[in-house]
Amino acid sequence: MAAQENYQPTKKAQAFLDKVENGKYNREIVMGLKRFISNKVPEEMQGFYSQEELQELIDLKDTNQDVEARMPVKITNHYYQIAKNSKAVRTLVKASPKETFDLDGAPDPGKQMTYSPLEGLIHKYELGLIYVTNTCSAHCRFCYREELIAKKEIVREDGTVASKGLANIPDLVEYILDHNKIVAENGGRHPETNREKLREILMSGGDPMVLTNKKLAEWFSALADAGIDSIRVGTKELAFYPDRFDSTFFNMLDDLHAAYPEVQLRFMVHFNHPDEFLQKDKNGNYIEDPDGGLVWIESTKRAVKQLASRKYITIENQAPFIKGVNQDSDAIRIMQRELKRNRINNHYFFCGRDIIGHKAFNLSIEDAWNLLNDSQKGLSGVEASARLSITHYLGKTEVVSVTNKPIPGVPGTENGVVIFKLLRSAADASNKGQVAIVGRNPEAIWFSGYEDRVIFDEAGLFTESMKSTSNVSNETHKQS
């Protein structure tokens, strides 16, 4: 497919784009450990890392356990203010030598390059995911896009080695139009891939909310003109820098809606812990709001209220469970209740991905399921809507249940079983909903931990999983 030089908006898009104003933001970002090491951070941030912590990180510099080569350090002032009073948030954002003790893991989690027909696009379902930027306002240490954010080189399908690139508007629009035309001419399925019409695009990266309003507006109008009827924005900006959701941004969204009323916007937000959005008193307790619920951080509350007040927007929270960050069923219960109360749906919790170094972050699959299950005790059905998902090479998979008792007469079930269900199949829509049942292994943090105890596998999760991930040597993962 020949790349076009520049994005040429349609007349309708241009009329919308002409109205867009960029906002002015001061995230007060500190980027790189170097700033902490040389004490070139604002006075109040000095001491965020102790001298001993810094020394341990310095000792690893330029070795194969260099922590920043795996994932660069980045934090906003807003997030620092929260981190000061939250161990969970500090663990999420502070680099630690533990991250590189064991570098086992996959250079391309979920084998995404297999599903990348175009630079910056992952096309698995009726939903396509695009990389529109390779950074966020701050960086989570556990990031499952560490290969993109740290600009690492990975081995591609054709054997070449290169870092992952970003999507561009003209090529993506051409791809969507071509794909949807072929699908329409072939009775609703693509003859080669069996995929349906592309009707939803998730803008991701990195965090699209680091882009200017004008750039976001170009993406939105181009996708709308290509016939996409749901645009998702994957963002953690409500936690890192909620002031990004200002009046210039909402004016742009309202103008988009006026020009393209058929397009839905879905904000896929990312809160790992209630400390990221709730205020605390001097004893570290959340504060009751006389109007009901708990008291939120003001700028976060304002942004959420604005989003939630627009009928063309839905808000869904999805977040991984991470060791030391949100391994706390009481905190997760409070989070689910408060989010739903404020019109944010609890969509998914994730088992950590099998990225390089994942053993420092991932809970075992069974611990993650127990955590979600415990956290949902005492919640109403609408509050407890989140499912636990783990991303298999074949598609998004739910950890449906972990049992404790043997199934009479079935060998391998002595300690109970784990039931997986394929929620969305990337390869063949016909196996959606199929299950796999395995004997328990409380230590397993990835599918590979169950390969020797498969009882029933109609979904094919364990015939394929060997190909997918884990046990991949770090030597294939060249860092630039």
CB closer to ligand SF4 out of 154 and 224: 154
* 421, containing H or E segment: strand 417-422
Closest by Cα among 113, 206, 70 to 479: 70
CA-to-CA dists, residue 263 to 373, 435, 480, angstroms: 35, 34, 39
Count Cα atoms within 13 angstroms, Cβ side, for 291.
5
Smallest separation (angstroms) from ligand SF4 to the CB of 136: 3
Is residue 142 within 8 Å of 350, Cβ to Cβ?
no
* CA distance to 262, 318, 392, 397, per residue, from 386 (Å): 27, 8, 18, 13
Nearest-approach distance from CB 48 to ligand SF4, in angstroms:
18
> Closest distance between ligand SF4 and the C-beta of residue 207, in Å?
5
**Nearer Cβ to ligand SF4 (143/388):** 143
* Cβ atoms of 203 and 132 closer than 8 Å: yes
Coil, strand, or helix at residue 330? helix
In degrees to the nearest 10, what's the CA dihedral of 356, 75, 344, 307? -130
Instruction: Tell me how far the alpha carbon of residue 60 is from its chain's centroid.
Output: 28
Q: How far is the CB of 227 from ligand SF4 (least distance, A)?
A: 27
The pairing of strands 30-31 and 127-131 is unpaired
Joined together, the tokens standing for residue 64 give 């194969």
Compute the least distance from the CB of residue 172 to ligand SF4, in Å. Answer: 20
By beta-carbon proximity to ligand SF4, the closer residue of 320 and 449 is 320
Which residue is it, tokens 């998979």? 397
**Which amino acid does the sequence have at 44?**
E
CB of 258: closest distance to ligand SF4 in angstroms?
A: 30
Minimum distance from CB of 235 to ligand SF4 (Å)?
8
For the bound state, the minimum distance from the C-beta of residue 165 to ligand SF4, rounded and expressed in Å, comes to: 16
C-beta of 140 vs 223, nearer to ligand SF4: 140
End-to-end CA distance of the chain: 28
Chain-centre distance of CA 442, in angstroms?
Answer: 25
Q: Which of 309, 338, 367, 360 has the alpha carbon at shortest distance from 143?
A: 360
Q: How far is the CB of 42 from ligand SF4 (least distance, A)?
A: 22
Q: Tell me the two tokens of residue 322.
A: 């991470």
Query: One-letter amino acid identity for 224?
Result: A
Contact residues for ligand SF4, defined by CB under 6 A: 136, 139-140, 143, 145, 206-207, 236, 270
CB of 149 to ligand SF4, least distance (A): 6
Q: Closest distance between ligand SF4 and the C-beta of residue 342, in Å?
A: 20
| For ligand SF4, the closer CB: 180 or 235 | 235
Q: Which is nearer to ligand SF4, 145 or 340 (CB)?
A: 145
Instruction: Compute the distance between CA of residue 442 and CA of residue 3 in angstroms, rounded to an integer.
Output: 49
Q: How far is the CB of 47 from ligand SF4 (least distance, A)?
A: 24
Question: Going by DSSP bridges, is the β-strand pair 435-439/454-457 parallel, antiparallel, or unpaired?
Answer: antiparallel
Following DSSP, what letter does each residue of 244-292 receive, concatenated? GS-HHHHHHHHHHHHH-TT-EEEEEE--SSGGGTB-B-TTS-B-B-TTS
Cis geometry, peptide bond prior to residue 206 (ω within 30 degrees of 0): yes
Spatial separation of the C-alpha atoms in residues 78 and 29, rounded to whole Å: 9
C-alpha 380/C-alpha 110 separation (Å) is 33
